[in-house]
Amino acid sequence: MIDLYTWTTPNGRKASIMLEEIGLPYTVHPIDISKDEQFAPAFLKIAPNNRIPAIVDNDNGMALMESGAILIYLADKTGKLLAKSGEDRYKAIEWTMWQMGGLGPMLGQVHHFVKYNPGKSAYAEERFSKEALRLYKVLNTQLEGKDFICGDYSIADIACWPWVSRFEWQAVDLNQFPNVKRWYTTIAARPAVQKGYKVPKDMGPIPMPA
Ligand SMILES: N[C@@H](CCC(=O)N[C@@H](CS)C(=O)NCC(=O)O)C(=O)O
């Protein structure tokens, strides 16, 4: 049994979608980051960086933070959504790291400056919006001729998808990125994604592009 500490954000949804996809039983512990619950001493023992998501695997007592590490761990634990060895494994990890180091942090800055603080810094809005479009273009190119980022559905898709699901916050028109739009809508229809998206609570349906 896994304990999942999470909230209604892209990083949190990576973990809940993964748990739904692999079918491991889990208990949800909502950590409301708008109420600073991520700074509670009990949560800090599990996630020393005071950010969600985090898990505890009660089979071995291990606590883990950082969504990329959580995805790799759960994939290895179950033998699902990540090849055990070889090029397929490292390509899926490569694109998961691309999300962790690029797509997520850059889109996070777009959310901060463009959605929540418009007008505070024209420079930051322009810089991060431009970078967001560059990253969408990279993803669109990677998806050319492929159903999923690395061919087969993998942790790389689960890492990237929840960030793309905020395309409206980013003022990104998915019609400019047809491969991303196809990939996004295909994944949105998966029952595990529909379910994981609503953890720890239902915030409404998955946004769909026009
Ligand atoms: N690199 C971390 C980032 C986690 C992260 O930034 N989580 C956000 C929610 S998406 C959070 O907990 N924010 C709380 C805060 O900023 O205090 C991961 O991928 O797990």
DSSP letter (8 states) at residue 81: S
pLDDT at 80: 98
- Within its chain, how far is the Cα of 140 from the centroid? 17
CA of 34 to the centre of ligand 1 (A): 12
Q: How far apart are CA 161 and CA 103, in angstroms?
A: 10
Do residues 55 and 113 both lie within one domain? no
Condensed to tens digits (0 to 9), the pLDDT of residues 165-208 reads 999 999 999 999 999 999 999 999 999 999 999 999 999 999 99
55 within 8 A of 29, measured Cβ to Cβ: no
Do residues 90 and 186 both lie within one domain? yes
pLDDT at 169: 98
Residue 200 located in a structural domain: no
| Residue 17 belongs to domain spanning | 2-78
Which of 57, 78, 99 is the last residue in one of the domains?
A: 78
Nearest to 158, CA basis, from 191, 187, 133, 181: 187
- Which amino acid residue places its CA nearest to atom 2 of ligand 1? 66
Q: Cα dihedral sign for 93, 95, 97, 100?
A: negative
How many distinct structural domains can be found in the chain? 2
Which of 31, 55, 78 is the last residue in one of the domains?
A: 78
Question: What's 59's domain CATH number?
Answer: 3.40.30.10
Average pLDDT, rounded, for the chain: 98
Q: How far apart are CA 59 and CA 144, in angstroms?
A: 40
Which of 25, 53, 78 is the last residue in one of the domains?
A: 78
Do residues 100 and 152 both lie within one domain? yes
Do residues 90 and 73 both lie within one domain? no
Condensed to tens digits (0 to 9), the pLDDT of residues 3-27 reads 999 999 999 999 999 999 999 999 9
Ligand 1: nearest atom to the Cα of 67? 20
Query: Which residue of 7, 11, 39 sits with most ligand 1 atoms within 8 Å of its CB, as the best mutation to test the pocket?
Result: 11
Do residues 92 and 177 both lie within one domain? yes
Count how many residues are written for the chain.
210
Condensed to tens digits (0 to 9), the pLDDT of residues 30-84 reads 999 999 999 999 999 999 999 999 999 999 999 999 999 999 999 999 999 999 9
Do residues 67 and 22 both lie within one domain? yes
pLDDT at 201: 98
**Residues with a CB atom less than 6 Å from ligand 1:** 9-12, 33, 38, 51-53, 66-68, 100
- Which amino acid residue places its CA nearest to atom 11 of ligand 1? 51
Ligand 1: nearest atom to the Cα of 70? 20
Ligand 1: nearest atom to the Cα of 65? 20
Residue 208 located in a structural domain: no
- Within its chain, how far is the Cα of 143 from the centroid? 17
Residue 108 located in a structural domain: yes
Where does the chain have alpha helices with state H? 10-22, 41-46, 67-78, 86-98, 104-110, 122-142, 155-164, 178-188, 191-197
pLDDT at 62: 98
What is the 3-state secondary structure of 172-202? CCHHHCHHHHHHHHHHHCCHHHHHHHCCCCC
Q: How far apart are CA 93 and CA 174, in angstroms?
A: 25
